[in-house]
């Protein structure tokens, strides 16, 4: 799936997400529109993806490879001002998002 850390469908479709401090934001909507309990009425984690990526480390000298596991989360949002969005975020953004919802 492409569009990691962005809005895939619905309200604000195609907009990227940014992380500043302890919140996620839509940086181009109303000068950093936050994804917090003030703007989101509810959310549902629709799916979790585990991606395995092989990274070559110093292949010219040692020929070693590292396997990296990455998680991505597909989340449905309901905005307080109306509308719904479907976002796809990585593990780092997910931790920030969940902590900002309390």
Note the pLDDT tens digit of each residue in 27-46. Answer: 987 778 999 999 999 999 99
* Percent helix, percent strand, percent coil in the chain, to nearest 5: 10, 55, 35
64-96 confidence digits (pLDDT tens) = 666 677 889 999 999 999 999 999 999 999 999
DSSP 8-state code for residue 16: B
What is the reported pTM? 0.81
Among the residues of the chain, which ranges form H helices? 91-100
Contact 7, 49 (CB under 8 A): no
Which tokens is 91 given?
A: 């593990």
Residue 6 pLDDT class (50, 70, 90 cuts)? very high
């Amino acid at each position: 799936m492409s569009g990691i850390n962005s809005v895939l469908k619905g309200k604000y479709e195609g907009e990227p997400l940014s992380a500043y401090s302890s919140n996620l934001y839509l940086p181009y909507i109303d000068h950093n529109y936050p994804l917090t309990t003030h703007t989101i009425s509810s959310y549902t984690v629709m799916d979790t993806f585990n991606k395995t990526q092989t990274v070559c480390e110093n292949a010219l000298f040692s020929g070693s490879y590292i396997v990296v596991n990455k998680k991505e989360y597909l989340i449905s949002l309901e905005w307080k001002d109306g509308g719904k969005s479907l976002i796809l975020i990585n593990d780092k953004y997910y931790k920030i998002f969940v902590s900002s919802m309390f």
